């Protein structure tokens, strides 16, 4: 008997799919007690991304910039993009981006804290620039061989020069998550706020988790706690949320969590790179924060389908996506386990967090092996040959292909059937559809099947 072992479970009743959280036609919703209204993304693909991966040509830089503008949409969710100013090519990129006259993302410079670098900003006519202000004692004493006060005065001199010339400074507190917050960071930011008030121009600060040692919870304490640092700066210096930016690295796998924590703690600007390219383990993937934004504020006004276009561009530039990379990796929306495929074919929502066709323009896929039934084979054919259910529902060729697959495993095969093998197999039975395409795309390769 089970009546006396605890309260009776209510197992029957109305189906609850939590549609207010999981709408399926868009990414899941993040329900918050207090929704951060003013949150944006800033980009550093053309700066930190390029620095950490490879040099981009002028043409590649412009294509990336145009995709960033399309991703962020007319709402300008992607607010700005950082640009180097040092080489002839850098300056050409800046001028051509300015020539496009897009509202967003706004081009901003990136310089070291020197007057000669600040002069480059004036020469290019930029309204804003990032200024590198290394802030931890690791950097202050090892890089500069100067005292704290000497280094900070050097930074302040450059910031004031920019403000005098009408340029908005964005001071990057490099290695902030290993810095003395009380005795260095807070006094420095307080001085920056006084300069901002004096010249009636905003001074922004970028909190840089340079080594990825930041943590997304207050209990970690300073300097590692990202939310505690942001809340301390707002409370102690009076800086406004819209002037705080967070820039994280992924050395310890915490970058997206830290960026989300920064948004929720009052840093309005999330500084990212496309696909996380950057120094060492990379930056926060811009597409990840755009997805987080869509879960907080919805997808209206942004274009998540541009993520796929960005991935195609980066593949053409030589970036290799890991098989399990979210959204655009070869396995991102692919089911392999037989039990998963069976449930997926009955209802795609069972194993998909949202509809990738509607959100990204990507068809979910199945991998074929000995446990894949005829329905899986039919689905593979339908999605790769752009057929509808009526075309293949009762087609005996599906059964013939399935039999050939089973013969492979009866002969001792152990690995899944690759997409390329499937195309060659399907070509045998569906020549009339294959010929129409003359080179269908399979994963990351193009197969000549004419």
Mean predicted confidence (pLDDT) in 65-82: 97
pTM of the shown model: 0.91
- Residues 304 and 342 reside in one and the same domain: no
Q: Around Cβ 101, how many Cβ atoms within 10 Å?
A: 6
Q: Around Cβ 145, how many Cβ atoms within 10 Å?
A: 9
Q: Which residue among 283, 316, 349 closes a domain?
A: 316
Handedness of CA 257, 260, 265, 270 (dihedral sign): positive
Give per-residue pLDDT as tens, 222-266. 999 999 999 999 999 999 999 999 999 999 999 999 999 999 999
Mean predicted confidence (pLDDT) in 85-106: 98
In a domain, 2, yes or no: no
In a domain, 12, yes or no: no
Task: Please state the φ and ψ torsions of residue 99, each to the nearest 5 degrees.
Answer: -65, -25
What is the number of structural domains in the chain?
Answer: 2
Q: What pLDDT is recorded for position 443?
A: 42
CA distances from 332 to 63, 299, 323, 363, 443 (A): 25, 20, 8, 11, 11
- Residues 308 and 344 reside in one and the same domain: no
Indicate which CATH number applies to the domain containing 242: 3.20.20.70
- Residues 106 and 254 reside in one and the same domain: yes
- Residues 255 and 309 reside in one and the same domain: yes
> Nearest-CA neighbor of 239 among 192, 307, 297?
192
- As a whole number, the mean pLDDT across the chain is 92
Q: What pLDDT is recorded for position 5?
A: 62
- Residues 135 and 201 reside in one and the same domain: yes
- Residues 295 and 349 reside in one and the same domain: no
Give yes or no for residue 126 having a pLDDT over 60: yes
- Residues 309 and 365 reside in one and the same domain: no
- Residues 391 and 308 reside in one and the same domain: no
CB 378 within 8 A of CB 400: no
In a domain, 173, yes or no: yes
Q: What pLDDT is recorded for position 4?
A: 62
Give yes or no for residue 113 having a pLDDT over 70: yes
The pair of three-digit structure tokens given for residue 396, joined into one six-digit string = 């005996």
In a domain, 232, yes or no: yes
In a domain, 368, yes or no: yes
- Residues 163 and 70 reside in one and the same domain: yes
CB 149 within 8 A of CB 188: no
In a domain, 348, yes or no: yes
Give yes or no for residue 310 having a pLDDT over 90: yes
In a domain, 247, yes or no: yes
Q: Around Cβ 301, how many Cβ atoms within 10 Å?
A: 13
Q: Which residue among 260, 289, 316 closes a domain?
A: 316
**63-77, 291-305, 349-363, 364-378: lowest mean pLDDT where?**
364-378
The pair of three-digit structure tokens given for residue 397, joined into one six-digit string = 């060729």
- Residues 132 and 253 reside in one and the same domain: yes
- Residues 196 and 304 reside in one and the same domain: yes
In a domain, 132, yes or no: yes
Report the half-sphere exposure of 303 (CA within 13 A, side-chain side): 15
Q: Which pLDDT band holds residue 9 (cuts at 50, 70, 90)? A: low
Q: What pLDDT is recorded for position 116?
A: 98
Give yes or no for residue 131 having a pLDDT over 60: yes
- Residues 271 and 361 reside in one and the same domain: no
CB 355 within 8 A of CB 348: yes
Q: Which residue among 316, 344, 370 closes a domain?
A: 316
SS3 labels along 214-282: CECCHHHCCCCEHHHHHHHHHHHHCCCHHHEEEEEECCCCCHHHHHHHHHHHCCCEEEEEHHHCCCCCC
Could you list the residue range(s) of the whole structural domain that residue 363 is in? 334-446
> Nearest-CA neighbor of 112 among 150, 79, 149, 86?
86
Task: Please state the φ and ψ torsions of residue 170, each to the nearest 5 degrees.
Answer: -125, 95
Q: What pLDDT is recorded for position 74?
A: 87
């Amino acid at each position: 008997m089970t009546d006396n072992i605890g309260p009776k479970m209510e197992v029957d009743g109305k189906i609850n799919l939590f549609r207010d959280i999981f709408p399926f036609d868009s990414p899941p919703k993040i329900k918050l007690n207090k929704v951060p209204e003013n949150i944006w993304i800033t980009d550093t693909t053309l700066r930190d991304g390029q620095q950490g991966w490879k040099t981009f040509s002028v043409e590649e830089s412009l294509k990336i910039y145009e995709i960033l503008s399309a991703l962020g949409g007319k709402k300008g969710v992607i607010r700005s993009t950082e640009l180097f100013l040092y080489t002839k090519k850098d300056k050409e990129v800046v001028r051509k981006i300015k020539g496009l006259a897009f509202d967003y993302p706004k081009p901003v410079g990136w310089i070291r804290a020197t007057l000669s670098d600040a002069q480059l900003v004036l020469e290019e006519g930029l309204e804003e620039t990032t200024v590198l202000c290394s802030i931890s004692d690791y950097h202050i004493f090892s890089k500069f061989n100067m005292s704290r006060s000497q280094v900070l005065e050097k930074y302040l001199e450059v910031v004031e020069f920019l403000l005098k010339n009408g340029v908005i400074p964005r001071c990057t507190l490099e290695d902030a998550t290993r810095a003395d917050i009380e005795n260095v960071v807070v006094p420095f930011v307080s001085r920056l706020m006084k300069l901002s008030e004096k010249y009636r121009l905003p001074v922004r600060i970028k909190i840089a988790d340079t080594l990825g040692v930041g943590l997304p919870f207050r209990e970690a304490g300073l300097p590692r706690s990202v939310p505690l640092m942001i809340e301390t700066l707002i409370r102690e210096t009076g800086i406004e949320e819209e002037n705080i930016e967070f820039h994280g690295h992924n050395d310890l796998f915490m970058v997206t969590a830290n960026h989300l924590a920064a948004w929720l703690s009052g840093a309005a600007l999330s500084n990212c790179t496309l696909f996380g390219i950057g120094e060492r383990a990379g930056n926060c993937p811009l597409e990840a924060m755009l997805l987080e934004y869509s879960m907080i504020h919805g997808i209206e006004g942004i274009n998540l389908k541009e993520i796929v276009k960005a991935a195609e561009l980066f593949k053409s530039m030589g970036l290799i996506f890991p098989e399990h990379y979210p959204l655009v990796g070869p396995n991102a929306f692919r089911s392999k386990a037989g039990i998963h495929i069976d449930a997926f074919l009955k209802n795609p929502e069972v194993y998909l967090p949202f509809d990738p066709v509607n959100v990204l323009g990507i068809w979910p896929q199945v991998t074929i092996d000995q446990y894949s039934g005829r329905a899986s084979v039919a689905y593979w054919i339908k999605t790769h040959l752009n057929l509808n259910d009526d075309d293949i529902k009762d087609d005996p060729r599906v059964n013939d292909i399935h039999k050939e697959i089973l013969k492979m495993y009866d002969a001792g095969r152990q690995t899944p059937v690759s997409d390329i093998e499937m195309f060659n197999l399907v070509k045998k039975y569906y020549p009339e559809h294959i010929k129409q395409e003359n080179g269908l795309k399979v994963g990351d390769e193009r197969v000549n099947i004419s």
